[in-house]
Amino acid sequence: MSYKYEDMRPYIFTEQNVPILLKTRDIVFKLCEKAGCCRASKAWIKGDSWMAFAILDYLCELGEIREVTNPEVVQAQDRVFLRVERTA
């Protein structure tokens, strides 16, 4: 079995995972502010790596971050994300 965002997405909103979603978002934003970008492996809180990927993909879906990973990257934990700056 392999990672599929569509299968993992509903589990993001469980009581157990919502705090992880919020903490992950905060970590990604802080790393992007400090370093300009964030690698997936640096945004993991704990536990299931598929949930970590799903949370990052969800933040992309919301338009909070966007993925800028080089196509040559083969390891999912090396995916790279930028924060999307919102304009008023």
**Domains, in order of start, for the chain:** 5-83 (1.10.10)
C-alpha separations of 25 from 2, 14, 37, 46, 71 in Å: 24, 16, 13, 14, 24
pLDDT for 25? 96
Spatial CB neighbours of 22, under 8 Å, sequence gap ≥ 6 = none
Spatial CB neighbours of 23, under 8 Å, sequence gap ≥ 6 = 45
Tell me the CB-side half-sphere exposure of residue 59, using CA atoms within 13 A: 28
Tens digit of each residue's pLDDT (9 = 90 or more) over 18-69: 999 999 999 999 999 999 999 999 998 877 889 999 999 999 999 999 999 9
- Compute the average pLDDT of residues 67-88: 91
pLDDT for 66? 97
What distance, in Å, lies between the first and last C-alpha atoms of the chain? 42
Is 88's pLDDT higher than 70? no
pLDDT for 45? 80
